[in-house]
Copies of this chain bind each other. A is one copy, B any other.
C-alpha cells in the first residue's frame, strides 16, 4: 500500500511530529511510504525516505527537497508543463497540535477529496479543546474529573479545593500546564497558561490516580489496542513526552481485571463512534474507585500509539479500506430554475 505520511506543521509540537514520522518509518515496513513535510511557513515538501533524519529538518536542508502542492485528490509536484501526482492510497496525518489536531488538515484533505487517516474537522475541533471534550463526555454519559473554566478576562479565583491542575484549553503535550497546590500559586500558573490560550480549565488534581491508555480504531470491526498503564511521574513534562513519541516496540498490557478492561474499552468505543471514524486515537483514562473517567483524547497520538498494537501496520491497512466517506450532495439548481420560471426568465 502507498501511504503518505504528513508531518511537521505550524505547531508548538512541530518537532515531536518529526520524531513521530521517523518512528512511523520504522514501524510501517511493508508499505511504500511517501513523506510530505509541512514546514513552519506551511510549505509542503516531498522528503526522500532515505533522508528521514531529524537533522534534515533542524538544519533547514529539507528546503532542497521538491515542493508539492495540495490539489484535488492529493499532492502534486508541479513541473513547467505538467503536474505529477505523489502516488498515494491514503494520507496518514501525523501532525500534532495546531494544523494537525485543530481541524485544519482534516478540512484541507476532506475538501480536496484526499483519502486520509485522522479525525474529521468536527471531531478535531472538539477534541482539541479540553472544555468541549468535557461537554462531549457529558453527552456520552462518560465521567470526567471535576473542573471549572476561566477566561483571560475573568477574576482569578477558583471555587474548588486545592490542589488543582491548570491547563490551557487548546494545547496538548503538557505545554502551559501546572499543578497548583494553594491559592498563592494560582496567579503564576494562570500567567503561564494564558500565554498559550485565552481560556483555561482548572481540574481537581488527584494524587496517585491510576491512569490507563487505550488506543484503537473501527475498520469493519473494532481494532482495540492493549490497555497500557503508562509510566507515572507527577505529570509528564514536554521533554519526557517528547521522548515518548519515538516509541516503536510493543509494551505490556496493564495488570487489570477483565471487568475493568471491558469498562475502559466500552468508554473508548462510546467516545470513538461515530465522531472519530477514520482515525486512530488514544484515550487516556483515570480509574477512581473502580469508575472510569475520560482524561484526554489524543486525536493524533504520539507515533500513532503503534506500540500498543499487536500488528499496527495491518490495522492501518484495514482502516484505509474503511474510511468514512463524505455525504454526496447533488446540486440540481431546482430552486434557481423555479425562480427563473416565476420571473419568466427560464
Q: Mark A residues whose CB is within 8 Å of B.
A: 10-12, 14-16, 18-19, 40, 42-43, 54-55, 57-58, 69, 71-72, 80-81, 98-99, 102-104, 106-108, 110-113, 121-122, 125-126, 128-129, 131-132, 135, 139, 149, 198, 238-239, 242, 274, 329-331, 333-337, 339-340, 345
Contact = CB atoms under 8 A, between A and B. Distances in A.
Given A72-B43, A103-B103, A274-B198, A336 B54 contact: yes
Identical chains bound together, number: 2
A152 B104 CA distance: 28
Q: In the A-B complex, list the 4 residue pairs whose CB atoms are closest, starting with the nearest.
A: A107-B107, A125-B125, A58-B333, A40-B331
Contact of A128 (B14, B18, B106, B122): B122
A44 to B, nearest CB: 10
A103 B121 contact: yes
A131 B139 contact: yes
Contact of A107 (B121, B242, B331, B335): B121
B103 A42 contact: no
Contact of A15 (B126, B131, B331): B331
Nearest to A243: B339
